[in-house]
Amino acid sequence: MMFRRGVRRVTLDELFDEMDLYGFEDFEDSQKLTLLNESYFDIVTREPWPFMEKLVTFVVPSGVSQVTSGSSFKVRNDNNQLDNSLTNPVLIPFTEYTVNSVLSFIDDSNNIVMTPERGDVIEKNYRLVNDTSTPTRYYFVGDDMYLYPQAAGDTTYRLYFLQLPVAATTTTGTSAWFVPARHHSVVLYGALVKAFLVNDDPQAAAFQNIFESRYQQMRNDIWMNQYDRTDTIHTLSDSYDWAY
């Protein structure tokens, strides 16, 4: 039994039992898990949810330019240094983080807000110059994130990002999901919609409406976490609308 924010985390077995109540006892547990995970991914990829956010402070060693390898980066527990070459957490303890999207990237040592750039812009406009100054930009090549130029000395950075969602397994259970426990019913209703569609059951439309209604309730709960003042609208240049 697991708890989060005072609400008991629903187990996979309990979700399987609830699907049985709606007439899907003929589905194998592995099939139910597939539908639940598909529903979960549908939910967490719709918008940049606050429960997906993570803030990590780490040190990039001198001469290093690559921050993430694929969608992940590793930070040593002893000295907080970035080291993506680590493979054995027993020999050298480390924490691995997975990045879906960057929200902000700050050079804490030099008080610099790093500027996102397209990789091709770096290649054509900057890399031709032998720049050995302090990095001020970051860019992506595929899922790999880089500094430009490379770190001139050991530098502390703060990376604020959306985590990469992962599927629940029979080993991890629902603890793999970022959706708060109090909103796991949204995942259930999304799975039920898919289950009804598998059976070509017209009830799918009705449950789609239930899912969307419950989803909206979750939005209202998650996004409004303060009533102290209204949101402030900030004006940004057009370049911030580009895809990086």
Tokens 């057009």 label which residue? 238
Q: For residues 144 and 131, give the distance between their C-alpha atoms in angstroms, rounded to a whole number.
A: 21
**Same structural domain for residues 36 and 63?**
no
Check residue 1 and give its pLDDT. 36
- What would the pLDDT profile of 159-195 be if each residue is shown by its tens digit? 999 999 999 999 999 999 999 999 999 999 999 999 9
* Claim to verify: residue 62 and residue 153 sit in the same structural domain: yes
| 213: pLDDT strictly greater than 60 | yes
Same domain, 158 and 178: no
Confidence of residue 224 (pLDDT cuts 50, 70, 90): confident
- Give the residue numbers spanning the domain of 101: 52-163
* Residues 124 and 68 both lie in one domain: yes
Give the integer Cα–Cα distance in Å for 134 and 121: 18
Instruction: Answer whether residue 143 is part of any domain.
Output: yes
Q: What are phi and psi of 79, to 5 degrees?
A: -125, 5
* Domains contained in the chain, number: 2
Q: What is the pTM of this model?
A: 0.86
Give the Cα separation of 168 and 176 in Å (integer).
Answer: 5
**Do the domain assignments include residue 240?**
no
Residues 55-108 pLDDT 10s: 999 999 999 999 999 999 999 999 999 999 999 999 999 999 999 999 999 999
